[in-house]
A and B are shown apart, each in its own frame.
Chain A
Amino acid sequence: MKNFTPKFLIFLLSALIVGLGLTYYSLNDGRFIGAYQWGSWSAWLKAGSPKPDPYTKAFLALGHSVQLGRGEGIQFIAQRDENGDLLMRNCNYILKGDTPVAAFWTLRATSFEGNSVTPNNAKQNIHSSRLARNNDGTITIFIGPKNRTGNWLEIHGKDLFEIVLTFYDAPILAGFGGNIEQMPSIIKESC
């Protein structure tokens, strides 16, 4: 009995940490398992499929129910920059690079609950057809509270946020129009 309690505590704690921790991370942004990960970006590739895997089903049960079907497009979410740091609303970020081919795409900054974190009088998102592109066709988008020229998505507040990049009518999953790895990187500029 003397040795039982500490060992039981080790058993209990490790079970809870592994059980709940793994569940949280796997359903939050699909880390480890469930969602596809590329750099900062994650996407639930099977969320729009008629036969989702058990992780995707659990993800859907958490209220993320109006998914894009595979025939409609695909959505990527980033909660971290390229160094792995969580995105903060009081920091300024540069989103740089290329995007997969799609009819169009939109980029939004939201809280983890999906609410927009842009100020009331600012634009809520960036649209691919209303965007200034670099000479080589790549994109540079500034996201943060600091006023910038060019493509700037203003955000406010001090909490964490996520970047939602949605591709509509994207043939990525069919193997046409570029590939899924063709995603822009998220670089922290300043805080």
Chain B
Amino acid sequence: MSKTFLALFAGVLFGLIIHLSIILLLPLFPSTNAWKIFAKIAPIGEVIILERPLPGEANILRLDPELAYAVCRYDLSNGPGLLSGQLTSDFWSVGVFDKNGVTIFSTTGSSSINNHLQVGIFNPAQTRLLAEQQLGMQEGLIIVEAPRNQVFVVVRYAPPYPQMWERYSKVLSKLNCSYLSDSSAPLEINE
């Protein structure tokens, strides 16, 4: 009887080890994550509008059909990323994610100046140059430091009525997804 209890106890302990191992190993072997999906549809440095999910159709990314979504991917080894554009006072938000879907930074339009979206994304080395004032930045730019080079940005935009979804998507498609070095807000190298 005691040996049976011991086997049960050992099994529960081993089960906990299995559980913790799966939890810790899962992030190393992600199934279908957003980065993999976006890699197929969004070239680096281009804004793409995500299709509105329809009833009966797959919604892998679990998008809210009420909102319009724009996605932009960056490889920061090409230089600091810049996402900019003019939106309206309707709700909008921006989230910067790493390759594993971990949120690096997020904010909403309510904390912007005149609903102007202007986010600069830097890797640690580029942030160091900023701190040493070797890079000059345009005023009002939100500076985000990404721990790794591969990041994606998701902009959510809420039309007041569902019928206006197309129009709001068009506004999102005009966002500028580029690198600071090739934008009109140039990356200045201070000598």
A 4-47 binary contact with B (CB < 8 Å = 1; else 0):
00111011111111111011001100000000000000000001
Residues 79-106 of A contacting B (Cβ, < 8 Å)? 103-104, 106
Whether B33 is near chain A, meaning CB under 8 Å from some CB there, is: yes
Chain A residues, Cβ within 8 Å of B8: 10-11, 14
Q: Which 3 A-B pairs have the closest CB atoms?
A: A69-B106, A18-B15, A19-B18
- A140 an interface residue at 8 Å Cβ cutoff? no
Contact of A18 with B11 in the complex, beta carbons under 8 Å: yes
Q: Contacts A14-B8, A52-B102 known; A71 to B107 CB distance under 8 Å?
A: yes
Task: Tell me whether A72 and B156 are in contact (CB under 8 A).
Answer: yes
A121 to B31, CA, bound (A): 33
B1-36 interface (Cβ within 8 A of A): 3-4, 7-8, 10-12, 14-19, 22-24, 26-27, 29-35
> Interface SS of chain A: helix, strand, loop or mixed?
mixed
Contact of B53 among A16, A64, A71, A116 (CB under 8 A): A116
B117 within 8 A of A: no
Pick from B40-48, B62-70, B118-126, B174-182 the stretch touching chain A: B62-70
The reply to whether B62 and A61 form a contact with Cβ atoms under 8 Å apart is: no
**Most B C-beta atoms less than 10 A away, residue of A3, A55, A69:** A69
- Which residue on B lies nearest to A57, using beta carbons? B27
Pair A168/B26 contact, Cβ less than 8 Å: no
Residues of A within 8 A of B93 (CB): 68-69, 71-73, 168-169
Query: How far, in angstroms, from A10 to B63 measured CA to CA in the complex?
Result: 44
We find that the number of chain B residues with CB closer than 8 angstroms to chain A is 61
Which of A6, A11, A104 contacts B11, CB < 8 Å?
A11
Give the size category of A's interface with B.
Answer: 35 or more
| Contact in complex: A69, B100 (CB < 8 Å) | no
Q: A61-B31, A63-B31, A65-B61 are in contact. Are A20 and B18 (CB under 8 A)?
A: yes
Q: Is A63 in contact with B60, judged by CB distance below 8 angstroms?
A: yes
Docked pose: A15 CA to B15 CA in angstroms = 4
Closest partner residue, chain B, to A106 (CB atom): B66
| Per-position 1/0 for B71-97, Cβ under 8 A of A | 000000000000000000001011111
Q: Is the CB of B7 within 8 A of A48?
A: no
- Name which of B4, B91, B101 has the most chain A CB atoms within 10 A of its CB: B101
Grouping DSSP codes into helix (H, G, I), strand (E, B) and loop, the B interface class, with mixed when no group exceeds half, is mixed
**B55 surroundings in chain A (CB, below 8 A):** 116-120, 122, 124
Residues of chain A having any CB pair with chain B under 8 Å: 3, 6-8, 10-20, 22-23, 26-27, 47-50, 52, 54-55, 57-58, 60-73, 103-104, 106, 108, 110, 113-120, 122, 124-125, 127, 129, 164, 166, 168-169
Taken together as a complex, chains A and B put the C-alpha atoms of A106 and B63 apart, in Å, by: 12
Given A20-B18, A62-B31, A69-B93, 4 more A-B residue pairs with CB atoms under 8 Å apart are A19-B15, A48-B103, A58-B24, A116-B57
Chain A residues within 8 Å of B7, by CB: 7-8, 10-11, 14
Please tell me if the beta carbons of A16 and B15 are within 8 angstroms of each other in the complex.
Answer: yes
Kindly provide the distance from the CB of B106 to the nearest chain A CB, expressed in whole angstroms: 2
Given A72-B95, A168-B93, are A65 and B33 neighbors across the interface (CB < 8 Å)? yes
Report chain A residues within 8 Å CB of B66: 106, 124-125, 127
Residues in B neighbouring A129, C-beta threshold 8 A: 160
Question: Quick one: which of B4, B156, B160 contacts A10, CB cutoff 8 A?
Answer: B4
Q: Is the CB of B33 within 8 A of A61?
A: yes
